[in-house]
Amino acid sequence: MAPRRKRVLAANWKMNHGPTAALAFLESFLDRYAPHDDRTVILFPSALAFSAARTAAAARPDVRFGVQNIHSAEKGAFTGETSASIARDAGAQYVLVGHSERRHVFGETDAQTAEKVIRAASEGLVPVLCVGEKIEEREAGQTDAVVVRQLRAALQALPPATTAGVLIAYEPVWAIGTGRTATPGDASSAHSAIRAELQAIAGAESDAIPILYGGSVTAANAAALLAAPGVDGLLVGGASLEAESWASICNS
Ligand code: PEP
């Protein structure tokens, strides 16, 4: 029987919401979303809004927090960067790694993504590893090959028990911030390729890994995507910026 994985709903605020807006968001969101035992909600605020957001949710430990990026080094002369241990100290439990904007806007390679996964895991942060194909790769029938390559590159150096602690987000690049959502069938098909590769990398322990879908999720399409076989949760950008639509997605 397929394992019952807890649903995960993650909000990537990207470069939006400073401390003031984060506080207002949390006040409104927490009024609209009561704790649910069957799901985990994670917010990824910008670095400077992180502490304000976390403090605003102090009475709600069911709402968890992560950072949008870390440097792969333990510490040192890297002006402007955030280390995994600083993120942990600030209260982060998760970190986004390999997001398409890091890969395709900032030029992060598979190798750098792997280094960040290792650093996150070694400092006690859960990496949320994002994988996904570009439109030309999809059109060339390379979707599965791309996500498999990205998974292998990022996870190959981890022991299976550590791999079992990561989260994966399938985020087709062509669907992120474009208003063009993968169909539930597209998502299921890629998730099934990802699940098979996780099994090959980490064996039975990989059954625990949730695979989220991300890419132009809205309050209107969230329920259909969550109902798709193999979709364990959602990673949401634009529609997570408004408390009302984010609460509606979390309550789906
Ligand atoms: C994202 O940034 O991870 C994302 C999925 O964005 P959007 O929901 O806006 O497409």
- Render pLDDT for 73-85 as a digit per residue (tens, 0 to 9): 999 999 999 999 9
Can you tell me which atom of ligand 1 is nearest the CA of 14? 2
Q: Is 68 exposed, middle or buried (0-12, 13-18, 19+ CB in 10 A)?
A: buried
**pLDDT score of 3:** 57
Query: Which range has the worst mean pLDDT, 55-59, 68-72, 74-78, 203-207?
Result: 203-207
The residues annotated as belonging to the active site are: 99, 171
> For ligand 1, atom 6, which residue shows the shortest CA distance?
237
Is the shortest distance between the CB of 12 and ligand 1 below 6 Å?
A: yes
Q: Is 161 exposed, middle or buried (0-12, 13-18, 19+ CB in 10 A)?
A: exposed
Is the shortest distance between the CB of 172 and ligand 1 below 6 Å?
A: no
Is the shortest distance between the CB of 217 and ligand 1 below 6 Å?
A: yes
Is the shortest distance between the CB of 216 and ligand 1 below 6 Å?
A: yes
Rounded Cα gap, residues 181 and 153, in angstroms: 26
- Render pLDDT for 119-172 as a digit per residue (tens, 0 to 9): 999 999 999 999 999 999 999 999 999 999 999 999 998 988 899 999 999 999
Whether the pLDDT of residue 2 is over 80: the answer is no
The average pLDDT across 17-42 equals 98
List CB contacts of 96: < 8 A, sequence separation 6 or more: 12, 44, 66, 67, 68, 69, 102, 128, 130, 169
Measured in angstroms, how far is the CA atom of residue 152 from the centroid of ligand 1?
23
Whether the pLDDT of residue 1 is over 70: the answer is no
**Shortest CA distance to 162 belongs to which of 111, 112, 118?**
118
pTM reported for the whole predicted model: 0.96
Is the shortest distance between the CB of 176 and ligand 1 below 6 Å?
A: yes
Mean pLDDT for the chain overall: 96
Between helix 19-32 and helix 243-250 the angle, nearest 10°, is 40
Q: How many CB atoms lie within 10 A of CB 160?
A: 14
Tell me which of 13, 14, 95 to substitute to probe ligand 1's pocket, judged by most ligand atoms within 8 Å of the beta carbon: 14
Residue 226 banded pLDDT, cuts 50, 70, 90? very high
Can you tell me which atom of ligand 1 is nearest the CA of 217? 8
**pLDDT score of 161:** 87
The average pLDDT across 174-181 equals 93
